[in-house]
Homo-oligomer: A and B are copies of this chain.
């Protein structure tokens, strides 16, 4: 059943959860789909439709119970447990990722980091000792890792992704500036600020050209 839920819906749920968490922190106990939509620039109808995939939340005209909906969304998304993350590639970008303080509090624990450069191996980054890339397979065989973060150069990213998938990793966060292939049953998300900028320049040009 769950596989019939469109991926775009699943992708919006963490945004809803984050907004609900912010409301909960402010002590709010009830929120309407109007108010939640307004906070997120999403239509109330969209929110109601997205949530309807997972059952009935809130009562007509009464709004959603903030802590209740938040708890349910966290359960649905699996945010109520700890996930193990490994980072492959500890160059400048990989270091920033490993040192980033935002993953741990959200339940994403970086348990290992790997680099092919012997000069990096053994160094401490963000409280973790960098391992040799040659240890990756063995580590994944002996330890539970849920998500692989790929922060290697584009030229070797496909190879690293293949290695992660072969070792049983089902979710990949790709920072390499290319589009790796993954089998259909593997989740992959891309973090690429250049592509994001390139998708906006079209609109800047359009506005400049008076094409509005």
Binding site for B on A (CB under 8 A): 1-3, 10-11, 13-15, 17-19, 22, 39-41, 76-79, 83, 85, 92-93, 96-97, 99-103, 106, 108, 146-147, 149, 170-171, 173, 177-179, 181-182, 185, 187, 189, 191, 193-207, 211-212
| From B15, B41, B206, contact of A181 by CB (8 A) | B41
Which 6 pairs across A and B sit closest by C-beta, in order of nearness? Answer: A14-B198, A96-B96, A189-B196, A171-B200, A78-B201, A187-B200
Whether the pair B179, A147 counts as a contact (CB closer than 8 A) is no
Whether the pair A211, B85 counts as a contact (CB closer than 8 A) is no
Main SS of chain A's interface residues?
helix
Looking at the assembled complex, report how far the CB atom of A157 sits from the nearest CB atom of chain B, in whole angstroms.
12
Whether the pair A17, B103 counts as a contact (CB closer than 8 A) is no
Whether the pair A191, B189 counts as a contact (CB closer than 8 A) is no
Whether the pair B203, A171 counts as a contact (CB closer than 8 A) is yes
| From B106, B170, B189, B205, contact of A78 by CB (8 A) | B205
Whether the pair B85, A96 counts as a contact (CB closer than 8 A) is no
Residues of B within 8 A of A97 (CB): 193
Residues of B within 8 A of A149 (CB): 193
